[in-house]
């Protein structure tokens, strides 16, 4: 039997839990928007054409912010196509996903959906095919109260109140050669700086995100962040990180340890940003917006290729997640929380159908993928401060990362109690986790759940939507406090005072 220990002490904190850690992402890609959040003919559709079943699941997921409208899509997008009477909106080629965009949903619909879902909109700007003028136009359209051409147009289109969007992404993955309008770091840095400068003339309080690297394996990783921040340091608040993971060649051990790469990514970007800050003699600190992260079987997408015939809302990137994906996913979420001092915003990519925790059938059912559960539980129970915890755990050997601890964990502590979020990556047996909670005084386990399955590749489907879900963990001992974590499992342990 594997054994590990975790020590909880409220004197050692990382940072407050940031609600924006629990952001998600809606891109005009595949069926994320059409037959995802929006399907006017669906039996649950509301007056605006939004699926109520998806709205309910979005609320249950506990999403805080939603990034929109891309992704790669945004780098060819004309936001004006998506406003005004729907029957007059143009159909356009979407080069990013080789699809046809009908523009039935645009910024006004998206903000209306956000209000219904109770989430904060986060807007991405097209700095691929467009620039400063179009960014300023969109800002004026969205946020200026009234009395100008564009703000009055918004009012005429039915949105009397300004949208009040605080967070803006200055482009998307501009380091990627696949991006429409891809740029060098210097070219992008200059454009991002001048766009930010102009936007701040309208509203100095906006929160602006400069594009970092599309992954830590990009050839320009590190140099890209340094050059972009040299141009933008005093003008932006965040640098972005994007990372996707998948199991390669049946190497489950490495896959379950994907958070090792995420930690390396975060530490490297923090070091790079601080280095630029030091050279500029700036007291300002740049935070990370990890605004695309997930498990994504990108190799399958590359094998299938983009559609050739420009379809509307095709099935693209519809990964069906299994238990091991959800445990890996939970490890990534734990890493984001563990870095809450510098990762102050994040967006799970994406929300519905496209590499998503929520799946839908057109005209039919909606259900929770395995990855839904770690996200929903963490969003629900993480509160107060993130505690600095360093589990003492046995190690195992991985091909990709060398020796890695079997247990990966984080804890939060606040008025609502203390909660431990932990994954057991052991593939050969359970692990007994001893919890040293002496610094908390008298505590008891209010609830312990575990998500596991004899088949690590078990999935949820529309017919069997709850095959993989958190269940009460019966293996809890009180003196000393110990919880048995099944092999390849996601676990939540909630402590309260008796
Ligand atoms: O989330 C899917 C795609 O992944 C996004 O459009 C892009 O930004 C990233 O490469």
Q: Which atom of ligand 1 is nearest to the CA of 244?
A: 4
Does the pLDDT value for residue 252 go beyond 80?
Answer: yes
Phi, psi of 73 (to 5 degrees): -55, -40
Distance 175 CA to ligand 1 centre (A): 12
C-alpha closest to that of 448 among 481, 387, 385, 495:
495
**Separation of alpha carbons 432 and 3, rounded Å:** 5
What CA–CA distance (Å, rounded) separates 169 from 173? 10
Please report the atom of ligand 1 found closest to the CA of residue 292. Answer: 1
Question: What local confidence, expressed as pLDDT, does residue 492 receive?
Answer: 98
Cβ neighbours for 435, distance < 8 A, ≥ 6 positions apart: 5, 6, 8, 420, 480, 481, 482, 483, 493, 495
- ω into residue 480 within 30 of 0, thus cis? yes
Of 293, 261, 496, residue with least CA distance to 402: 261
pLDDT in tens, 38-47: 999 999 999 9
- Give the position of tokens 């940072």: 15
| Percent above pLDDT 70 for the chain | 100
Q: What is the DSSP letter of 405?
A: E
Reported as a pLDDT band with limits 50, 70 and 90, residue 468 is very high
The gap from C-alpha 295 to its chain's centroid, in whole angstroms, comes to: 11
State in Å: Cα 293 to ligand 1 middle.
9
Does residue 246 surpass a pLDDT of 80? yes
Q: Residue 229: which H helix or E strand, with range? A: helix 223-232
Residue 172 CA: which ligand 1 atom is closest?
A: 8
Residue 261 confidence (pLDDT) = 97
Ligand 1 pocket check for 453: Cβ under 6 Å: no
pLDDT class for 416, splitting at 50, 70, 90? confident
CA of 464 to the centre of ligand 1 (A): 29
pLDDT score for 306: 76
To test the pocket of ligand 1, the residue of 242, 297, 347, 354 to mutate (highest count of ligand atoms within 8 Å of its CB) is 242
Ligand 1 contact via 173 beta carbon (within 6 Å)? yes
Task: Determine whether the shortest distance from the Cβ of 71 to ligand 1 is under 6 A.
Answer: yes
Angle between helices 52-61 and 107-117 (to 10 degrees): 60
Query: Residue 301: pLDDT above 90?
Result: no
- Atom 3 (ligand 1) nearest CA: 71
Indicate which residues carry an active-site annotation.
173, 292
Q: Which of 24, 26, 27 to mutate to test the pocket of ligand 1 (most atoms within 8 A of CB)?
A: 27
In this predicted structure, what is the pLDDT of residue 457? 98
Q: What is the mean pLDDT of residues 350-379?
A: 98
8 Å CB contact between 32 and 317? no
Name, in order, each residue with C-beta under 8 angstroms of 23's C-beta and a sequence gap of 6 or more: 63, 64, 65, 66, 67, 122, 291, 345, 346, 347, 348
Give per-residue pLDDT as tens, 324-340. 999 999 999 999 999 99
CA distance 208 to 236: 5
Q: Quote the pLDDT of residue 303.
A: 77
pLDDT at 429 over 90: yes
Residue 126: pLDDT band (50, 70, 90) is very high
Could you report the per-residue pLDDT of 179-236, keeping only the tens digit for each?
999 999 999 999 999 999 999 999 999 999 999 999 999 999 999 999 999 999 999 9
Instruction: Find out whether the beta carbon of 27 lies less than 6 Å from any atom of ligand 1.
Output: yes
| Ligand 1 touching residue 291 (CB < 6 A) | no
């Amino acid at each position: 039997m594997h054994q590990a220990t975790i020590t909880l002490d409220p004197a050692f904190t990382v940072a407050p839990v940031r609600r924006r850690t629990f952001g998600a992402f809606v891109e005009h890609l595949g069926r994320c928007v059409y037959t995802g959040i929006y399907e006017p003919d669906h039996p649950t559709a509301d007056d605006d054409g939004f699926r109520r079943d998806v709205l309910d699941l979005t609320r249950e997921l506990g999403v805080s912010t939603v990034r929109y409208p891309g992704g790669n899509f945004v780098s060819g997008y004309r936001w004006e196509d998506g406003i005004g009477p729907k029957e007059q909106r143009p159909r356009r080629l979407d080069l990013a996903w080789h699809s046809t965009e009908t523009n039935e949903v645009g910024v006004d619909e998206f903000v209306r959906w956000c209000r219904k879902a109770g989430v904060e909109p986060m807007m991405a700007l097209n700095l691929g095919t467009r620039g400063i003028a179009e960014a300023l136009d969109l800002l004026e359209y969205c946020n200026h109260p009234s009395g100008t051409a564009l703000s009055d147009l918004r009012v005429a289109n039915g949105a009397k109140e300004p949208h009040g969007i605080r967070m803006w992404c200055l482009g998307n993955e501009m380091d990627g050669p696949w991006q429409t309008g891809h740029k060098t770091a210097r070219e992008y840095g200059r454009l991002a700086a001048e766009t930010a400068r102009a936007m701040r003339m309208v509203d100095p309080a906006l929160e602006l995100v400069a594009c970092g690297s599309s992954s830590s394996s990009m050839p320009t990783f590190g140099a890209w962040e340094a050059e972009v921040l040299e141009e933008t340091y005093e003008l932006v608040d965040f640098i972005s990180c994007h990372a996707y993971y998948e199991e390669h060649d049946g190497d489950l051990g490495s896959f379950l340890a994907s958070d090792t790469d995420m930690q390396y990514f975060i530490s490297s970007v923090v070091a790079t940003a601080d280095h630029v800050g030091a050279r500029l003699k700036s007291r300002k600190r740049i935070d990370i917006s990890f605004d695309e992260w997930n498990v994504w079987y990108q190799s399958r997408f590359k094998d299938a290729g983009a559609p050739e015939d420009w379809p509307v809302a095709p099935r693209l990137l519809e990964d069906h997640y299994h238990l091991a994906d959800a445990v890996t996913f939970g490890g990534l979420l734990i890493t984001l929380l563990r870095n809450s001092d510098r990762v102050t915003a994040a967006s799970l990519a994406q929300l519905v159908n496209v590499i998503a925790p929520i799946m839908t059938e057109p005209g039919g059912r909606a259900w929770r993928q395995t990855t839904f559960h770690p996200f929903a539980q963490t969003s629900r129970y993480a509160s107060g401060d993130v505690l600095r915890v360093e589990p003492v755990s046995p190690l195992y050997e991985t091909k990709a990362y060398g020796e890695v601890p079997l247990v990966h964990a984080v804890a939060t502590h606040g008025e609502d109690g203390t909660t431990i979020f932990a994954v057991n990556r052991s593939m050969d047996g359970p692990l007994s986790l001893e919890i040293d909670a002496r610094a908390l005084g008298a505590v008891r386990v209010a609830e312990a759940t575990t998500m596991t399955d004899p088949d690590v590749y078990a999935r949820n489907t529309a017919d069997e939507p709850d095959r993989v879900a958190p269940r009460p963990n019966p293996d809890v001992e009180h003196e000393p406090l110990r919880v048995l974590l099944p092999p390849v499992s996601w676990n939540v342990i909630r402590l309260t005072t008796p």
